[in-house]
Structure 1
Amino acid sequence: MARHSDGSSLLFLHPVGLDRRCIEWLDLPPVRAVTMPGHGERERARLGLTLADMADEIVGHSTGPLDVVGASLGGMVAMHLALAHPDRVRSLVLACTTPRGDSAVMNDRADATEDKGSAGMLEDTLTRWFTPAALEADRDTPYMAYARERLLAMDPGALADTWRAIGTHDVLERLGEIRVPTTCIAGMRDLSTPIDVMRDLAARVPDARLVEMDAPHMAFLERPREFSVAVLEHLAWAGEHTPTEGALR
């Protein structure tokens, strides 16, 4: 993994259904992206795998301090990473994500995925993720073609597993333990994560700032240039930031 001048590494954690290739549209310094279990080329994980397990695996395959950028599912895993391995995280970018999953909604979505298959859930997912304008231009947009291809290719069982894992995710009452510089990126057109959720998240993390983008849930795909600028500004801010007590130094 490429390192920056201060010894830290930039790591991107992707949303449900995508894989490490999703960073293709971002204009960032050397960045590594990992593929979550059951996604991309990776086989379906064991039953009962949690987001905390995903975070532990990431730490086991990396070294040194990390600046972690997580979008949607990736942001949830990033929170677990910062809580379970605070000595490994220098800073966080939490984009269009939530500290608490809705188990009823996620379990229903998992059941529907197993019943209808990935193809049967595709349009519902894309509608939650992108703006109407992006959906209308679907066939002419590389990132839309990528998202569609990845969702269609994913094993419905693995996708359902991930929805259920999100349903068990709950770090809301522990957000005050995250002691590193954190930028929360909210999409003002996000149908999956209402902006009030992101505002509350930013308010609960001691050293957090909120950036609001005119973007949907997949802000980093639909507005990659603006998203990249927000990450670069975060890295500059985090590099100048004085850590709070207990933060990675």
Structure 2
Amino acid sequence: MPVPSPYADRLSRLTVQRHEVEVRGARTAYWVYGSHDAETTILAVHGFRGDHHGLESVIAFLPEACVIAPDLPGFGESTPAPGTRYDLDEYVAWLREFAASVAPGAVILGHSFGSIVTSAAVAAGLETPKLILVNPIGAPALEGPKGVMTRLAVLYYALGARLPESLGTALLRNRVIVRVMSIAMAKTSDPVLRRFIHDQHDTYFSLFADRDVLRDAFVASVSHDVSQYAASIDVPTLLIAAQRDDITPIEVERELATRFADAELVEIAHVGHLIHYETPAEAAGAIRRYLRIPVARGR
């Protein structure tokens, strides 16, 4: 039985529409939260292994904006293009084409792996008035204090790709391993919130199209980071970072902010890599202030 979201009441007040569009030879599913008439439109790109549901908790606290949230190709309800290798260049090309078709001129937001994709796309010419990065991946994944854990993850995804297909896919969708990942990332001591987080990962972390798509996305996620693109980004950028993030330490995020031409860093205490689940109100508040979105009465 699904675990109720602590943010379900807020989310239920938003109008939500599902759409599909053809992008680079495949079907991209996306969801529109809020009114198309809103003064601010945000295009939100989720992280590795997840889908658009991962950002719904933050979206629930942005009722004044129109938020467009696609599933990355090969994840959730979006299909991959046959024969396509999904390296970072392909994700960038997909995002630029999707944005031009569905949300030209929108504010671009990326979480975790989405921070890499969006940063690379903006650096490559994707037009946006502002860029927002939540839990940005600010340094090479194979370096730093968690380099050993990343190398173990590399072995895990490599094994999943090399085993016979049924065995490899079963390993990559193994619920015990998914739960270990979830436990490692969650910092909250609230049992209700922890159950919700684990249920979200149980439900959505294995909705990838096939193991090739997952392997490609993982390789892209550990082969690149936001610091590679920061100096080439000239639009105002907001970084929302966690003081207990095990993937990118806060000291690295502080240094990363200095690499942009125009950047603001907001730090959130007592949380790790799951800002979008554990402190969505704080993240949305930072976004609202940065974009100067007025708070609607009754919200």
Q: TM class by shorter-chain length?
A: 0.7 to 0.9
Alignment CA distance shift 1:123-1:137 (3 Å): same
Q: Which residue of 2 is the match for residue 19 of structure 1?
A: 51
Q: Which residue of 1 is the match for residue 114 of structure 2?
A: 74
* 2:290 aligned to which of 221, 225, 234: 234
Q: Which residue of 2 is the match for residue 98 of structure 1?
A: 137
Is 1:123 matched up with 2:179?
A: yes
The Cα offsets for residues 13-39 of structure 1, whole Å up to 9 and x where unpaired, read as 101111122232222111001111221
The Cα offsets for residues 152-196 of structure 1, whole Å up to 9 and x where unpaired, read as 343444323211111222553542221111111111121122112
Instruction: Point out where structure 2 has 5 or more consecutive residues left out of the alignment.
Output: 1-31, 161-167, 294-299
Is 1:41 matched up with 2:73?
A: no
Is 1:152 matched up with 2:206?
A: yes
RMSD in angstroms over aligned alpha carbons?
2.6
The Cα offsets for residues 53-104 of structure 1, whole Å up to 9 and x where unpaired, read as 2122122122321211111011111101110124x12111111122444358
Residues 110 and 161 in structure 1, CA contact (< 8 A), matched pair in contact too: no
Q: Which residue of 1 is the match for residue 13 of structure 2?
A: none
Tell me the amino acid that sits aligned with residue 113 of structure 2. Answer: L
2:182, 2:275 → 1: CA distance? 13
Is 1:216 matched up with 2:268?
A: no
Q: Which residue of 1 is the match for residue 41 of structure 2?
A: 9
The Cα offsets for residues 135-164 of structure 1, whole Å up to 9 and x where unpaired, read as x446742x5422221113434443232111
Q: Which residue of 2 is the match for residue 199 of structure 1?
A: 254
Aligned residues: 232
Structure (1 or 2) with the greater helix fraction = 1
Q: Which residue of 1 is the match for residue 231 of structure 2?
A: 176
Query: What is the TM-score with the length of structure 2 in the denominator?
Result: 0.69
State the identity %.
24
Tell me the amino acid that sits aligned with residue 95 of structure 2. Answer: I
2:73, 2:49 → 1: CA distance? 10
1:165, 1:132 → 2: CA distance? 29
Alignment CA distance shift 1:176-1:109 (3 Å): same
Between stretches 90-99 and 182-191, larger displacement belongs to 90-99
Query: What is the TM-score with the length of structure 1 in the denominator?
Result: 0.81
1:152, 1:227 → 2: CA distance? 26
Tell me the amino acid that sits aligned with residue 231 of structure 1. Answer: I
Task: Answer with 1 or 2: which has the greater Rg.
Answer: 2
The Cα offsets for residues 107-142 of structure 1, whole Å up to 9 and x where unpaired, read as 6424313163222531332134311525x446742x
Instruction: Point out where structure 1 has 5 or more consecutive residues left out of the alignment.
Output: 238-249
